[in-house]
Amino acid sequence: MDDKLLEELKKNIKGDVLTDNQTLTFYSHDASLFEVKPKVVVFPKDEEGVTALVKFVSKNKKNNPDLSLTARSAGTDMSGGCLNDSIIVVFDKYFNQTPKIYDNIATTQPGVYYKDFEKETLQHNLIFPSYPASREICAMGGIISNNAGGEKSLHYGKTERYVKRIKVVLADGNICELKPLVKAELEKKMGLTSFEGEIYRKMYKLIIDNYSKILSAKPDVSKNSAGYFLWNVYDKEKETFDLTQLFVGSQGTLGFILEADIALVPIRKHREMMIIFLHDLAHLNTIIREALILGPESFEAYDDNTLKLALRFFPEFAKLLGSKGIIQTGVSFLPEFLMVVFGGMPKLILQVDFTGDNLDALTQKIKKLKEKLKPLHPKIRIAIENQGKKYWAIRRESFNLLRQKIRNKHTAPFIDDFVVKPEYLSIVLPQVTNIIKKHKGFIFTIAGHVGDGNFHIIPLVDIANSKVRKSIPIIAKQVYDLIHEYHGSTTGEHNDGLIRTPYLKQMYGEKMISLFEQTKKIFDPDNIFNPRKKVGGDLAFALSHIRENW
């Protein structure tokens, strides 16, 4: 950005405008494998600061086609969603007021960290059940914009189900509120002469004209963050029209979120978990079928490499488990150590977690599952209430530890979030791992939400090795071809970003891609919000921005 424009930006914007090298380097990274250096990083102080910023870019875009705005809340995106080469707009510094809770709804700003959000909701015995595994490090703006999901999504669904109203800044720099509208309200909006009115008119027409195509394009899996969720906008039976559903999961490509109303659910009193140490993958389908019938709140899994990691970094895991101390934690893991020593390393560790307010009902479910699985002779443990904490620590923290701990190797998320129907897992999972094993230099861990058929495979690589860099698009293509063959989604939670937007055409086909492009054009005619994400994907740009070092 030239000096004159930068001066104008600084003069017009209420907020911090930084261009020093340290800041630019920090905001060149998120939790993905990419590095994209911004020109400027802005921390708007309030809503006026954000609207002025959007107006500034709209006004100057014609003479400066490279100008754009990319939102960032906590920057834990794994797809490169919050990285770009123009202006990064950071929300966690000033948009972080304590959420207000009223009637099972929390009103939050985008920069509020989930851990702080939850502190407030817990005081009301309520929780937002779609929190991601990155719950300690991410914020609400990214949760909404990625349509984040997590360990409880099997029972409660994903973020899309909980966003009830959002306040956004549109491409014309004006603020508007989005919520589900009934017919009369929609007609009123469509009658507006403003940019907002134009959006309603055009989006209504787009959806009505292509309604059956849109409904049939909805991925037939229980979790999806790929594309724009056009199928969620218009409910023909209830006659409601809800544009919040387009912003959810849109990775800041349609506008900026300033505030959101998020629905909460009561916390369940009790939990009882069965941990299954699976040695034979051939049993996976039966276990999935029998467990899902009983309606667990979550059904998670991790592999032998993840377990080895937990053993290798045992002191760190002990720390995560709180005040118990290493020796006591060691003692609590003793049965698992002995099981591995005498029975061998299991291929997968499965956690079937039942929760509810009636303890007896939970015990009955565990008993029933034990009975059903008896013919398979599985090795199991039962964890009541807090006894399950140690297993959850391994499941939740393994990726974070990998990111921080392995010297000379780096986590390279690029096939990190596919989804297929759970009944296909026993076929798809070994095929995916076989694809990776054919390439030298890739070791990997597998963890995921087995009940949803959503798996996170995170390779650990020496990213400076040119062979490794060349293998990344080859593996990605083969894996996504396979996922396509099984009618899955390329991403259940982590979203498209730089890494997966180029694969959307394969997943949705030409016609839906054209509807996504038209949607983007309606909201963002000059392409000022987060270019190259969701539409206009550019694999060559992504590959040329893989980090050289960490």
Ligand X SMILES: Cc1cc2nc3c(=O)[nH]c(=O)nc-3n(C[C@H](O)[C@H](O)[C@H](O)COP(=O)(O)OP(=O)(O)OC[C@H]3O[C@@H](n4cnc5c(N)ncnc54)[C@H](O)[C@@H]3O)c2cc1C
Please tell me whether residue 71 binds ligand X under the rule CB under 6 A: yes
What is the amino acid identity at position 202?
A: K
Q: Which is nearer to ligand X, 399 or 508 (CB)?
A: 399
What b/e sequence results for 385-399 when a residue is b if at least 16 CB atoms lie within 10 Å of its CB, and e otherwise?
eeebebbbbbbbbbb
In the numeric block, which tokens belong to residue 448?
Answer: 């995921």
Residue facing ligand X at closest CB distance: 142
- Within 74-113, the residues that bind ligand X by CB under 6 A are 74-78, 81-82, 91, 110
Q: Which stretch binds ligand X (CB under 6 A): 146-154, 262-270, 314-322, 461-469?
A: 146-154
Q: Which is nearer to ligand X, 72 or 279 (CB)?
A: 72
Please tell me whether residue 134 binds ligand X under the rule CB under 6 A: yes
Label each residue of 129-146 as H, E or C.
Answer: CCCCCCCCCCEHHHHHHH
Closest residue by Cα to residue 242 from 156, 182, 202: 182
Please tell me whether residue 251 binds ligand X under the rule CB under 6 A: yes
Label each residue of 142-178 as H, E or C.
Answer: HHHHHCCCCCCHHHHCCHHHCEEEEEEECCCCCEEEE
Q: Which stretch binds ligand X (CB under 6 A): 13-21, 140-148, 182-190, 204-212?
A: 140-148
Q: Which of 43, 530, 531, 542 binds ligand X (CB under 6 A)?
A: 530
Q: Which is nearer to ligand X, 150 or 502 (CB)?
A: 150
Residues 6+ apart with CB under 8 A from 529: 68, 69, 70, 71, 171, 252, 253, 254, 255, 256, 523
CB of 364 to ligand X, least distance (A): 30
Closest residue by Cα to residue 133 from 342, 306, 291: 306
Helix or strand run (H / E) with residue 381? strand 379-384
CB of 145 to ligand X, least distance (A): 3
Q: Which of 27, 117, 234, 256 binds ligand X (CB under 6 A)?
A: 256
In the numeric block, which tokens belong to residue 289?
Answer: 């079928």
Please tell me whether residue 146 binds ligand X under the rule CB under 6 A: yes
Q: Which of 17, 87, 105, 148 binds ligand X (CB under 6 A)?
A: 148
Distance separating alpha carbons of residues 460 and 406, to the nearest angstrom? 9
Closest residue by Cα to residue 541 from 142, 83, 89: 83
Please tell me whether residue 454 binds ligand X under the rule CB under 6 A: no
CB of 377 to ligand X, least distance (A): 32
Q: Which is nearer to ligand X, 255 or 296 (CB)?
A: 255
In the numeric block, which tokens belong to residue 341?
Answer: 């020593």
Please tell me whether residue 412 binds ligand X under the rule CB under 6 A: no
Please tell me whether residue 351 binds ligand X under the rule CB under 6 A: no
Please tell me whether residue 73 binds ligand X under the rule CB under 6 A: yes
What is the amino acid identity at position 190?
A: M
Q: Which is nearer to ligand X, 70 or 222 (CB)?
A: 70
CB of 250 to ligand X, least distance (A): 7
Please tell me whether residue 494 binds ligand X under the rule CB under 6 A: yes
Please tell me whether residue 537 binds ligand X under the rule CB under 6 A: no
Please tell me whether residue 493 binds ligand X under the rule CB under 6 A: yes
Distance separating alpha carbons of residues 280 and 287, to the nearest angstrom? 11
In the numeric block, which tokens belong to residue 139?
Answer: 């914020």
- Tokens 């394969």 sit at which residue? 506
Chain residues in the site for ligand X (CB under 6 A): 30-31, 70-78, 81-82, 91, 110, 132-134, 138-139, 141-143, 145-146, 148-150, 251-252, 256-257, 399-400, 493-494, 530
